[in-house]
Each structure stands twice: as C-alpha cells, then as structure tokens.
Structure 1
Amino acid sequence: MTLDPDKIIPDRSYLDESIVGARNRIAHGDYFTISDDQLVRAIQYVLEIMRQFRTEVENSVALQKYLRA
C-alpha cells in the first residue's frame, strides 16, 4: 500500500522550517521563544496532517489498495 504524501502534507516548507526546525533547535539545546499564534498554527497544522493520514489509510483500506494485484 502506498500513500500519496502530497495529499497528507499540505505545506512541506512549513513542516521543514517550523515544525522540524523547532524540534532540531530543541534537540540541540537552543533556547527560543514561540508566540501563542505560532503555537496554535503549529498545533492545527500537525492535527491536519494526522487527520489527512487517517483519511488516506481509511480510503486505502476501503478500496483494498493493500492487496496485491
């Protein structure tokens, strides 16, 4: 079963810069601040990815895309 990542991740640059970038800064011990608005946007973005992933998996199961041809 192959899922289309373009359907799941709406904005790759935001993911790379804001989500993964923040994780990397934290992992390397950097100190940074984030505004309430930035946090809300990040939360909404991650939740949207999770919803899209669930939808893609559900569609793949419903269409039995996991079966070999």
Structure 2
Amino acid sequence: MSASRKCKNCGSSDIEVDPARGDAVCTNCGSVLEDNIIVAEVQFEEGANGTANTIGQFVSSDSKGGGTSFGNGM
C-alpha cells in the first residue's frame, strides 16, 4: 500500500499487505483494513515427475463468490 494510506481506526500509515492471505492489516493496531483482495499474480509449483501446477483460484468477471472446479482433473 502507498504511504498515503492510513488506518481509519488509529491513523497509522504502517499497513501490511499480504497477497497470500489476500488482506491488508494495520501493524499498529491490528485492524483488518481489507480482505479478499484479488491479486493479479500467478504462482507455480513443481509437482511429481516434473509436472508444473498453478497455485490460485480462477475468478470470472461475473462471479458471485464461492469456489469453482476450474483446473480439477487437468
């Protein structure tokens, strides 16, 4: 987050954004400022026998929430 962003509870600008958890938390008072942040990054992991797997969840533009079966059985 930018330095101009401030916590609405305590006014601190010490905001930690964690893309893995999808949240933004004030490190001064612990308030969760944002959650369910959608991150536009792709991560890969190496599976058995050298296969490559993507990590994440597909979210379509018309999604109403909840998980999908995208990628299962591939």
Q: TM-score, normalised by structure 2?
A: 0.21
> Which of the pair has more CA radius of gyration?
2
Greater share of residues in helix: 1
Q: TM-score, normalised by structure 1?
A: 0.22
Greater share of residues in strand: 2
Larger RCO, structures 1/2 (Cα 8 Å, 6+ apart): 1
